[in-house]
Structure 1
């Protein structure tokens, strides 16, 4: 899976966004109908102006004037009502489409491989899900859709002014290529400027996300000033990028206005000449000026939304960068369900090397190399070794967060790649030293192990995890809010909560990844009973830093530099006086 910039075009962007709109065809049809009537009424209004000037005023007919003005006001009222209908229902259509796009992107991101999240910035992903998707919303706005009606109006009005006076029509038409020339010159400038601004905004978001989630570390090392300087650097970069974009936009709009004024000046000069020559009435000239403004309106509106189009195109490209990715780790079409474990888990000549963002090995030495051992059914297998020896990597391979480079992992003889991924992970419960908790209630965090669990099931899991008494002592019980990342709980309480969650999951295989490494001795002893309840009658793999916790393991596997170097019981390995004995003596002597 490779994350590279995806080439995009404006037509692709509109097809992508309006693909969501087509799900509500009746709303789109209603908007198109309203816009068609609006265009017709806008075409009629100048006719009222011409009629009043050329026919009503010369006749001095107040009654006729009243009728024409009433008709004009009635047309304006209808125009206003239709504009409301178009704007409101286009908003409904827009919000629905954007919500679907954001939900689809969120769903797509969640299904990407673990490697993607390790190589991506959280703040950048948040910008793509919020600001970038938000920028696409402008494409489904009433103003944007009205551009379609404006194009139709432009064509009919252009034909009409040719019929009235072809000389003036040709003269004003000559100004249009100047507008498009200016547009072409500034299009790439604006696109590049807004892409740079979006990238620097993502850097700011990453910095904010990093500091807000690591505030304790920052304060303990009194590095507030350092982080302020970093944020200031990113903020100033974003400021310069936005100033550059604004500068191009500021140059672009006045140039377009200058061309529009040139067109008006041409019409006034030629129109006045034709009025003097008797070839044109004053009313026709006034109406002609209005029609020219109607011609210039779509062009002016188009140029005014150019910067938004460029921002949307940049955002669309960033969204497509994600949507272009395909997960490498997927279930086969004929994948089978997870078996009922009777024999155990077998690792056969397993090798694996982590990859960089381009899919190349990120290290010359594999993280795991030619490792073979069995995790027997209903038994506890301990995995020990120095930091970086490949222990945690093996647990990720068993959970299929990564695919093997070579070798195989089987569950009762069933190859891991032949199993449905979701079913595989439902049957594996992992408790690690890094406890991940939701910003919600205690009940929500335990129930995360099984969404359909009853309250009775939750209390049973809490009791087995030795945390039920603590919960009963809280004023709100299971409804107690634990705060972001469980800040209101102690380390031991967090760990018990994660054990309760794993117990509720009731998986066949349990993996403990240094589950007590960050706890003090007293807390560790208190949690051991909960861990024993979790591992009871289950196939267990325990990664242990403190070797005193695995004396009673049925099997101990010793890793060193990604290789299996020893295997046996605690007593047999001590007698061998090898790698395990050295680790053990280093801790206790």
Structure 2
């Protein structure tokens, strides 16, 4: 097996700035291609906009020569009407062009976000381990809009000014090639300041994005951990951290201002030198009779029109660099290699599991350096219940996460019925596995919505059987809107036991032949655990089950128990066999089951296990705090 490739950190690229305008447009091409016709229409509409600027400037020559010099007023009365007519046509073209460009820009932004989101949800778990939520959210929420609007706006601006500038340059050359040489020659002095600015802009933008991602992370962590913040009185600490990050952004913003605002005055200086040179030499040409006053006025008007957009090039340049950097960051995600992307041709569809799941000499590390599993070999026979126990951090959860390929192994083999799991499509592999964790994620929606994530096309009868098997039916009956009652973000309006049983019902509805239970009851009190354990028993019926548990009382009836310590399988056997060995398992057992503990367990056996613990009665007006009190 080839060495696995670990995803890179996204924030590494933010200080490089390797995209040029041309390479950025090349990357942008797949998103632009479907709207090429409309884009061409938008470009064509910019041609008359630019041409009309040149036309207005060119009309000043006959106006000056015929009216002011020759006193011919017939043509003079026509010029204002011509200019107004040209301006109306120009305005109509600009209006239509803006609508077309806005439509194209919005569609591209939408498609870019869809591509980005699709890539995110299909990326491997290691990608999310390496990158903070703030960095990823910045890419999706901010960079997509910045890249699209920045490129579309600046390309539109460039094209409109290109045609305008081209027409105006023709006017300049037509009127005086000598003055044109001076006017256009000074523009070479723009290259150096823009080169200097680009270096500083790219570095500062990279640092600003990293600081901005910290702000996003602050928001996300505060929202998710508000109870911990309040219970530990961390408000001042969190506020100070947030304030410090904001101050960093402020300082970076001021550095950006100091390092880019000089571009504007520099552009003004260059254009002023051009105008000064034209005025100085133009005076000589007029006095020597080489050009007329009308020619000079027309030239000067065209020159001012040409120089006007150049003066604002500083701001546009910064916006363009910002867009290119945003596009670079987006493509850092879009071009990320993921083994989950290669899940089609040449792969088998896993339709059932008939014999066993086996690990053979499996080694694994999360970061490519620090090994978590060392040469692990184990077998899970079909239809059996296999328990994984051992010390915390020993690698139990890692073992179960490798079966559905949430992570890639470093070496060795994991097989199902003798076939390496890499030969199966990931979707068909995961379809055979249902997982219930200690802290199950529930989506913001209704009870029904969360159940249907287990099986999207489930019938009402299948849903009913699932909630009954999970001992959730009595609870659902008490809800104001039954299955359609909203449960809040991450199921915040449910108790711990209710969330677990909803997750179990979801797993039952999936009806997968393999069930993985990762500390599914460890966070519950005794009463909640009894009801949830009954639901788990229903889930495990007739299925291959892998159970991770710290409470050995829940796994003593397992067909096989594997003791995993420090990344190694140190013991294997059933409960009685392992006790007889008087090894690692026996030590765990003896530490948990003292005589006093045994007596307490026996005294609790008489309690009514059928007791309904659904203490939380959801109502539309009930707050999260009230739910917690309940």
Same fold (TM over 0.5): yes
The offset of 1:156, in angstroms, is 4.0
Instruction: Answer with 472-481 or 31-40: which moved more.
Output: 472-481
Alignment of 1:228-267 (within 5 A): 228-267=239-278
Whether the 8 Å CA contact 2:146–2:322 is kept in 1: the answer is yes
Could you tell me which runs of 5 or more consecutive residues in structure 2 were left unpaired when the two chains were aligned.
Answer: 1-5, 595-630
C-alpha deviations, 1:410-465, integer Å up to 9, x for none? 21222211111111011111101011111222221111112222344323322221
Instruction: Return the match for 1:196 from 207, 210, 229.
Output: 207
Structure 1 partner of 2:458: 453
**1:526 matches 2:531:** yes
In 2, the alpha carbon distance for the partners of 1:62 and 1:445 equals: 81
Instruction: Answer with 33-42 or 397-406: which moved more.
Output: 397-406
Structure 2 partner of 1:112: 123
C-alpha deviations, 1:223-271, integer Å up to 9, x for none? 1111112112211111111111111221111111122222223333333
The offset of 1:277, in angstroms, is 4.1
The offset of 1:547, in angstroms, is 1.0
**1:352 matches 2:364:** yes
The offset of 1:310, in angstroms, is 1.7
Could you tell me which runs of 5 or more consecutive residues in structure 1 were left unpaired when the two chains were aligned.
Answer: none
C-alpha deviations, 1:111-163, integer Å up to 9, x for none? 22211111110011100112222221234434532312422442343243123
In 2, the alpha carbon distance for the partners of 1:215 and 1:476 equals: 28
Whether the 8 Å CA contact 2:165–2:306 is kept in 1: the answer is yes
In 2, the alpha carbon distance for the partners of 1:153 and 1:484 equals: 54
Structure 2 partner of 1:286: 297
In 1, the alpha carbon distance for the partners of 2:220 and 2:393 equals: 28
Structure 2 partner of 1:151: 162
Where 2:261 maps in the other structure, the secondary structure is helix
C-alpha deviations, 1:463-507, integer Å up to 9, x for none? 221112212211122222211211111101111111111111111
Alignment of 1:4-23 (within 5 A): 4-5=12-13, 7-23=18-34
Structure 2 partner of 1:335: 347
Structure 2 partner of 1:217: 228
C-alpha deviations, 1:358-410, integer Å up to 9, x for none? xx31x2xx322233332222221111111112111110111112222333222
Where 1:436 maps in the other structure, the secondary structure is coil
Instruction: Return the match for 2:106 from 92, 95, 100.
Output: 95
Whether the 8 Å CA contact 1:331–1:418 is kept in 2: the answer is no
Where 1:517 maps in the other structure, the secondary structure is coil
Whether the 8 Å CA contact 1:471–1:478 is kept in 2: the answer is yes
C-alpha deviations, 1:27-63, integer Å up to 9, x for none? 0111111011212212111233333333245676766
**1:310 matches 2:324:** no
Where 1:175 maps in the other structure, the secondary structure is helix
Whether the 8 Å CA contact 2:451–2:509 is kept in 1: the answer is yes
The 1:266–1:107 alpha-carbon spacing in structure 2 relative to 1, beyond 3 Å, is same
- TM-score scaled by length of structure 1: 0.94
Alignment of 1:402-421 (within 5 A): 402-421=407-426
Instruction: Return the match for 1:515 from 520, 535, 538.
Output: 520
Instruction: Answer with 78-87 or 543-552: which moved more.
Output: 543-552
C-alpha deviations, 1:79-110, integer Å up to 9, x for none? 10100011111011111112111221221222
In 2, the alpha carbon distance for the partners of 1:194 and 1:350 equals: 43
In 2, the alpha carbon distance for the partners of 1:130 and 1:19 equals: 21
Taking only aligned residues, the RMSD between alpha carbons, in angstroms, comes to 2.1
Structure 1 partner of 2:478: 473
Whether the 8 Å CA contact 1:345–1:412 is kept in 2: the answer is yes
Alignment of 1:167-206 (within 5 A): 167-206=178-217
The 1:254–1:18 alpha-carbon spacing in structure 2 relative to 1, beyond 3 Å, is farther
In 2, the alpha carbon distance for the partners of 1:463 and 1:63 equals: 95
